[in-house]
């Protein structure tokens, strides 16, 4: 099995702070996002690797386990060991124990989801059951276990379990698959418009009590969300900014064309009405998308091009 150097994937060293990890992820994910690289499967593959690395390094518990494994792996390789002979047993992710809910196996998910692909074998070995093909398996254990908790004594017996979803899933709505000990499968529908802090109620599913999925929407490389509004930055070349034209603006649906007036300055914000997130209470109502212009100067100007720029500069001085 191939060892994944998640720090190298994000261009970081092992002392990287949380802010460094988030910054590197946003920069690289934006660069390799499929919407920004249509028809380039190598970019899509790189995007998956970046997301996998971020899922581990942005989570303190996963990062701790990964660092412990990495240290042992390095010692093993330094001693001349081969990957085929390495003892993966202690590191293989085990199904959740106890009564209640457990993480579904990869074979079960492949059967239910039609063979969709997911994270690397390395990831599944260390952190098995996090997610595949746009679906995520989450472990909802009984009270007192990691990830699920009951209310204080005297309060409701409801169980709350945190579930991470992507912004795309929050936009379109999604499902989560859970399986009870004994074989009963639960499919929870998460409606469009949910945000971090939203809860999805599964009535009577937690040993007679209600199970609540508490939503956490993961950071997105292209969009920032504020309520139902989305914000993004749009690169505009120098010539379009000066002379006017059109640029492509990504959305959570299809990209749209935005008309740029002549003499548009960097930092100019355009409001694209109704292209934001759907309202949780009324999905037909959507917020807005705000696109901020970033003017990009032409790289590697030739001597002749630079001469034209100087000519323009001198003309402005005369005026």
User: CATH homologous superfamily for 1-91?
Assistant: DnaJ domain (1.10.287.110)
N- to C-terminal Cα distance for the chain? 68
- Listed ranges 19-33, 83-97, 268-282, 301-315; the one with the highest mean pLDDT: 268-282
Per-residue HEC secondary structure of 265-318 comes to CCCCEEEECCCCCECCCCCCCECCEEEEEEEECCCCCCHHHHHHHHHHHHHHHH
| Mean pLDDT rounded to a whole number for the chain | 76
Kindly state the helix (H) or strand (E) to which residue 57 belongs, with its residue range.
helix 41-57
C-alpha 46/C-alpha 98 separation (Å) is: 38
Q: Domain 224-318: state its class.
A: mainly beta
Residue with tokens 């499919």: 187
Same fold: 1-91 with 96-218: no
Instruction: Give residue 316's pLDDT.
Output: 77
C-alpha 17/C-alpha 21 separation (Å) is: 6
Query: CA angle, corner 131, sides to 66 and 229, nearest 5?
Result: 105
Report, as an integer, the average pLDDT of 34-42. Answer: 79
Judged against a pLDDT cut of 80, whether residue 293 lies above it is answered with yes
Percent of the chain clearing pLDDT 70 (strictly above): 70
Q: Give the CB-side neighbour count of residue 235, counting CA atoms within 13 A.
A: 8
- Is the Cβ–Cβ distance between 274 and 251 less than 8 Å? no
Instruction: Give residue 77's pLDDT.
Output: 60
User: CATH homologous superfamily for 96-218?
Assistant: Urease metallochaperone UreE, N-terminal domain (2.60.260.20)
Report, as an integer, the average pLDDT of 258-278. Answer: 95
| Domain boundaries along the sequence of the chain | 1-91, 96-218, 224-318
Taking only the tens place, the pLDDT of each residue in 217-234 is 988 888 999 999 999 999
Query: What count of other Cβ atoms lies within 10 Å of the Cβ of residue 260?
Result: 20
Instruction: Give residue 11's pLDDT.
Output: 94
Instruction: Give residue 43's pLDDT.
Output: 85
């Amino acid at each position: 099995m191939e060892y994944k150097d998640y720090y190298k994937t994000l261009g970081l060293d092992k002392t990287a702070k949380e802010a460094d990890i988030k910054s590197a992820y946003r920069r690289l994910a934006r660069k390799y996002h499929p919407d920004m690289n249509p028809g380039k499967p190598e970019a899509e593959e790189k995007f998956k690797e970046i997301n996998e690395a971020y899922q581990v390094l942005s989570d303190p518990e996963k990062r701790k386990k990964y660092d412990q494994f990495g240290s042992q792996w390095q010692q093993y390789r330094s001693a001349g060991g081969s990957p085929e002979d390495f003892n993966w047993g202690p590191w293989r992710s085990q199904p959740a124990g106890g009564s209640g809910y457990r993480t579904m196996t990869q074979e079960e998910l492949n059967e239910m989801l039609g063979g969709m692909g997911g994270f690397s074998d390395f990831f599944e070995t260390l952190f098995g059951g996090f997610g595949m093909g746009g679906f995520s398996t989450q472990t909802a254990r009984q009270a007192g276990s990691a990830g699920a908790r009951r209310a204080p004594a005297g309060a409701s017996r409801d169980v709350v379990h945190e579930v991470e979803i992507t912004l795309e899933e929050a936009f379109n709505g999604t499902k989560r698959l859970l399986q009870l000990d004994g074989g009963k499968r639960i499919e929870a529908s998460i409606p469009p418009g949910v945000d971090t802090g939203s809860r999805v109620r599964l009535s009577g599913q937690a040993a007679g009590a209600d199970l609540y999925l508490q939503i956490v929407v993961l950071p997105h490389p292209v969009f920032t969300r504020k309520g139902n509004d989305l914000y993004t930055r749009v690169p505009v070349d120098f010539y379009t900014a000066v002379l006017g034209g059109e640029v492509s603006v990504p959305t959570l649906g299809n990209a749209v064309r935005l008309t740029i007036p002549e003499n548009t300055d960097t930092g100019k914000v355009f409001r694209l009405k109704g292209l934001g997130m759907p309202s949780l209470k009324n999905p037909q109502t959507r917020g807005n998308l705000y696109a901020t212009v970033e003017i990009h100067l032409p790289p590697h100007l030739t001597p002749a091009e630079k001469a034209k720029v100087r000519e323009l500069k001198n003309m402005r001085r005369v005026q």
